[in-house]
Amino acid sequence: MTPWWRDPTLRPAIVACLTLSAAVGVFGVSFGVGSVAAGSTVLQTCALSLLVFTGASQFSAVSVIGAGGSIGSALGGALLLAARNGVYGLAMSRRLDGSLGRKFLAAQLTIDETTAMAVAQPTRRAQQVAFWVTGVALYACWNLGTLIGALAGSAIDPKTFGLDVAFPAGFVAMVWPLFSDPRARLAALIGGAVCLLTVPFTPIGVPILLSVLGVLVGLQSPANAPNSEVTQ
């Protein structure tokens, strides 16, 4: 069999995986800048990207702590966002081969982008190549971007350049594609409203936890038909 990097049928997928990884590297820069702007050190910022390696959770934790929230509320919101990687793991476990050690390595790389690139491929071999190429390239780009951003962010005054909105602006770009689903729009509306309504009355960070109420939209099955599974 042709090695994967020389297989012409795999080339378009590999190019797409590398392009996506480079784009995520730019996002890593904005994480680095925003994280030091929110009061983390360069070392802490890099540790988050190296060890946690799931963007939305990292942004959430830094944002809540930067606003003065407790460790508990920062952790809660970030872990809620990390839970979906468990669902991606379910999807990937049917597609990945290899030893248990290899799977423990694959687990750290199981995030939005690697899962999306893998499940989009037509063959099992292409799925595995897409997962590993995206995983390794994205890990490198995300961490390099984080380091560059953290160093740049600590060299300037972030507020002068409006960089304190790097996070919310990045969140806007992250969440916008989800709104093609009407139920995601409703969940977002509820989540956003719950957050703003509870900010004055609850400790900092707790409104982010309460916003998860928006997911109750998912209790209703898509067809709006009565469904036995909902009541179980």
Partner 1 sequence: MTWTLIILLAVGAYAFKVTGLIILGGRSLPPVFERCLGLIPAAIITALVMKDTFTVGQDLTLDARALGIAVAVIAAWRRAPLIVVIVLGAAVTALVRQL
Interactions with partner 1, residue window 2-61 (CB under 8 A): 23, 26-27, 30, 35, 38-41, 44-45, 47-48, 51-54, 56-61
Residue 156 binds to partner 1 (criterion: CB under 8 A): no
Q: Give CA angle at 31 (52, 143), nearest 5°.
A: 55
Residue 182 binds to partner 1 (criterion: CB under 8 A): no
Q: With beta carbons less than 8 A apart as the criterion, state whether 52 and 58 touch.
A: yes
* CA–CA separation, 163 and 25 (whole Å): 17
Total number of residues that touch partner 1 (CB under 8 A): 112
Cβ-based nearer residue to partner 1, 7 or 119: 119
Cβ-based nearer residue to partner 1, 81 or 130: 81
Residue 74 binds to partner 1 (criterion: CB under 8 A): yes
Using CB under 8 A, which of the segments 12-20, 81-89, 119-127, 132-140 binds partner 1?
81-89
Residue 102 binds to partner 1 (criterion: CB under 8 A): no
* CA–CA separation, 23 and 8 (whole Å): 24
Residue 141 binds to partner 1 (criterion: CB under 8 A): no
Residue 67 to residues 46, 60, 74, 188, 229: CA-CA distances in angstroms?
Answer: 20, 11, 10, 21, 40
* CA–CA separation, 88 and 91 (whole Å): 5
